[in-house]
Amino acid sequence: MSGTVLEGEQRSMDPEHPQEECGVFAIASVQNVSIDIFYALRVLQHRGQESAGIAVYNNGIKAIKGMGLAHQALKPDDVNNLKGEIGIGHVRYSTFGSSTIENAQPIVVSTNYGDIALGHNGEIVNADKIMEDLKKKGWAFITSTDSEIAVRLLANDIANTGDPVRSLKNLMSILQGSYSMTIMIDNRVFAMRDPLGVRPLCVGRTKGGYAAASESVVFDTLGGEFIRDVDPGEIVELLPGEIRSTKTGLSKGRAHCMFEWVYLARADSSIEGHLVYEVRRRIGQRLANEQPADVDVVVPIPDSGRSHAIGYSEESGIRYSEGLMKNRYVERTFIMPEQSERTTSVMLKLNPLKSVIKDKRVVLVDDSIVRGTTIRQIVQLVRNAGAKEVHVRIGSPPIRAPCYFGIDMKTREQFAATGRTIEEIGKMITADSIGYISVEGLIESIGLPAGDLCLGCLTEEYPLPVPGEKVRYQKKLDMFV
């Protein structure tokens, strides 16, 4: 286990981007699975860096967990010694509950039916209410996570039904919000996706069996093959020789998080039939049409703006050049107090290439702006490197509202766009001009119908009831009345 990660330190890691939530994985195989799970977690590392854990079945569920990146959290010997032919894995970024080892997943509980282990990506909107009700009934909770609520409800229900699939279905009818979950119930392994399919989840073949993962790129790395996305409201059971599907009938619509394509998922993953890299390129192309810039060079903000910038360059015909070099080893920003006057966090992470930038009119392309503090420093860095003009183009519309479904954007106050016009945002970040893609442009670039996407943080209309916020689709409410 690595040293404790301080929540504040981790949260300030990249204030310019929405922070990822979690990554989940499950597998059933004819061979030992712990090493496959470990590699899957390394592939899903971008979805959570606070903790990692693996649970396998071997005459009961055995689990190892730790704080930090998967290779820091899980010692090679511990992974090797964990023997079992079914298992689940999890990497965590906390959006609900603090960053401590107690909250690391998979969560494991013992029941009369057998052990249960659960890993969760997403956020349960009605978790507080459920927890309050259960505490009144005398229940006690060990962690501060919404995932514990899910596993405890499941354990309680299975004591009555004795039927894992029925109990998972019952659980799905209680939970509201976003959840892609992998679950082991005694010696069986399942994955399930919430009725709106907010967070991604897919299934594929591995060398020794079948698996479920947050992103399709996992199957490439394991030498396997992506099969399909799990449907909203679907429960799948993984066996070495087949995938068994149960459709719960609880899904009455879809609300896939648009940010998965914009920033969160890896560019080489495919979600709902749309390769993330191609979506980002199309966003860049559309951005070039909607927000042209009369400049000499297109420069991506590495690494998040690269695919968008390639599209912008292709469509505009303006040369693409890597004008900012990234120090890959500055994961978190820590500035010595006496240095803070002269060294910014951005200077530690990025260095401008003067030969690309000096005396040029530059357009910087990135995926999104949350607070605006980092992009402001980058604009100044590029200007100090001799750029004649610095323009900014952004591959998502302004973020104006919190996310309640698993992304760490919780208050309106933090957003650059709160209380500011686009022009005022441009002034705040000291750019010569700023332009965002439109909501329509984004939807068309993703390639799914608007009604199949969650756009809550952009439009302030959410696909589920959230206290104090507007609901976009009445029909999606029907499943909860």
Contacts to ligand SF4 by CB under 6 A: 18, 198, 257-259, 403, 405, 407, 454-457
Q: Which amino acids are annotated catalytic?
A: 22
* Minimum distance, C-beta of residue 105 to ligand SF4, in the bound complex (Å): 20
β-strand pairing of 470-471 with 461-462: parallel
* Minimum distance, C-beta of residue 27 to ligand SF4, in the bound complex (Å): 27
Instruction: Output DSSP code: residue 26.
Output: E
* Minimum distance, C-beta of residue 199 to ligand SF4, in the bound complex (Å): 8
Query: Judged by CB, which is closer to ligand SF4: 198, or 211?
Result: 198
CA distances from residue 236 to 22, 29, 201, 202 in whole angstroms, order as listed: 19, 15, 11, 10
> DSSP of 236-282, one letter per residue?
EEE-SS-EEEEE-S------EETHIIIIIS-TT-EETTEEHHHHHHH
Query: Judged by CB, which is closer to ligand SF4: 28, or 271?
Result: 271
Query: Judged by CB, which is closer to ligand SF4: 218, or 446?
Result: 446
* Minimum distance, C-beta of residue 257 to ligand SF4, in the bound complex (Å): 3
Query: Judged by CB, which is closer to ligand SF4: 117, or 258?
Result: 258
Q: Are the CB atoms for 439 and 397 separated by under 8 Å?
A: yes
Query: In the structure encoding, which two tokens stand for residue 252, read together?
Result: 């009455």
> Phi and psi (nearest 5°) for 278?
-65, -40
Query: Judged by CB, which is closer to ligand SF4: 286, or 349?
Result: 286
Residues ≥6 apart with Cβ < 8 Å to 152: 109, 134, 139, 141
* Minimum distance, C-beta of residue 461 to ligand SF4, in the bound complex (Å): 10
Nearest to 404 by CA among 475, 464, 481, 478: 464
Residues ≥6 apart with Cβ < 8 Å to 183: 26, 88, 116, 117, 118, 119, 154, 168, 189, 190, 191, 192
Q: Are the CB atoms for 302 and 328 separated by under 8 Å?
A: no
Q: What are residue 204's DSSP bridge partners?
A: 211, 226
Query: Judged by CB, which is closer to ligand SF4: 222, or 257?
Result: 257
3-state secondary structure of 376: helix
Query: Judged by CB, which is closer to ligand SF4: 62, or 199?
Result: 199
CA distances from residue 88 to 85, 166, 174 in whole angstroms, order as listed: 10, 20, 23
3-state secondary structure of 373: helix
**Residue carrying structure tokens 């260095």:** 351
* Minimum distance, C-beta of residue 384 to ligand SF4, in the bound complex (Å): 33
3-state secondary structure of 294: coil
* Minimum distance, C-beta of residue 19 to ligand SF4, in the bound complex (Å): 10
Nearest to 201 by CA among 183, 175, 184, 185: 183
